[in-house]
Amino acid sequence: MRLFGLIMLICLTSCYNIERNCTDYKTGTFYSEVIIDDVTYKSQFERFKTTQVETYNSKIDSSKLRWINDCEVIFKTINPKNRAEQKDVHLKILTTTDSSYTFEYSYVGETKKQKGTAYRLNQ
């Protein structure tokens, strides 16, 4: 009986597909929130085909984009001002809805990842 229950559980969870319409989020204007150590960091950004311009704490930062696939992108800061900004950032879209997406990101080559949510501002 336990084996039957286990088989049913596996069958039901294996049929569940996470929605990821990543191409809907390759361009546009967005607002994002990331929570790190119980502190919420908010920013607004505009993403174009090959660049992204982000405003955070009244500072503007621009990055070149290199899409690995429809759901993963590498950000390279255009004019880095310090060593930390010289590191590329890898972002992966995990799930999407009609107006937002959840993502994880980290510096390229690092294993520690952060998660956040971005919301579309222009429809």
Among 41, 40, 44, 67, which residue's Cα sits nearest to residue 54? 44
pTM above 0.85, yes or no: no
The pLDDT mean for the chain works out to 88
How far apart, in whole angstroms, are the C-alpha atoms of residue 116 and residue 39? 12
Helix (H, G, I), strand (E, B) or coil at 13: helix
Residue 22: DSSP 8-state: G
The percent of residues above 90 in pLDDT, for the chain, comes to: 67
Give residue-wise pLDDT tens across range 107-119: 998 999 999 999 9
Q: What is the DSSP string of 33-90?
A: EEEETTEEEEEEEEE-SSEEEEEETTEEEEEEEEEEETTEEEEEESS--SHHHHS-EE
Q: Quick one: pLDDT at residue 20?
A: 82
Task: Tell me the two tokens of residue 8.
Answer: 């049913």
How far apart, in whole angstroms, are the C-alpha atoms of residue 48 and residue 27? 5
- pLDDT band for position 34 (cuts 50, 70, 90): very high
Give residue-wise pLDDT tens across range 47-83: 999 999 999 888 899 999 999 999 999 999 998 888 8
How far apart, in whole angstroms, are the C-alpha atoms of residue 19 and residue 67? 19
CB–CB of 116/35 below 8 Å? yes
